[in-house]
Homo-oligomer: A and B are copies of this chain.
Amino acid sequence: MVSGIIREAMVEIINFVSKAIDMISDKEKDNMIETLIDAYKRGARVLVMGAGRSGLVGKAFAMRLLHMGFQVYVLGETIIPRIRKDDIVIAISGSGRTKLIVTAAEAAKAVGAKIIAITSYPDSPLAELSDIIVRIPGRTKIAEEEDYFTRQILGIHESLAPLGTLFEDTVMVFLDGVVAELMNKLGKTEEDLRNEHANIEL
């Protein structure tokens, strides 16, 4: 049993994510799930993007989408195909102002892709250009510098206190929940997936 500061920090994170379950909109979540199911059925491309720790959480989600059979890609990797009309972009940015992400989302929107923003700020530039917004609490302070690589170069980062990571931690648990619901809605069981592998591939 861990005690002291680490315990307090872990409890604070858990309590925050717990409360977030009640704060996240069921309707926003439904919009996201339906859009993803539709993309799955159409074989549309899903491009996941986020900078820094948001990008890592996005990659963890992208891996799961791949395992379920989605055509999924991650911004920043070597291989990113063209995004086309009706493809899906999932853009994760607590502040909704990370320049790299806003610029890439704008480009995708310009070709007719559907943008899903996961952000704490529904009135941010990212949210404003998005078709679907899923508000996830956690980002309380907006970094003044909006360019991610500039922040790296200048050594500017979000708060190191647990408070500084609540957005990413909450998004990670939320997206794991999205995976559970997608599996159910797509009628996929673990067993199915395993059998499919066993029969066809191995």
- Chain A contact residues, CB within 8 Å of chain B: 1-11, 13-14, 17-18, 21-26, 29, 47, 52-53, 56-57, 59-60, 62-64, 66-68, 72-84, 99-100, 103-104, 106-108, 110-111, 147, 149-150, 152-157, 159-162, 165, 168-169, 172-174, 176-181, 183-184, 188, 190, 193, 197, 200-202
Contacts and interface: CB of A to CB of B under 8 A. Distances in A.
A60 B10 contact: no
A111 B53 contact: no
* Interface secondary structure of A, over-half rule: helix
A7 B17 CA distance: 11
Count identical subunits in the complex. 4
Given A3-B26, A53-B60, A183-B160, A197 B13 contact: no
A82 B153 contact: yes
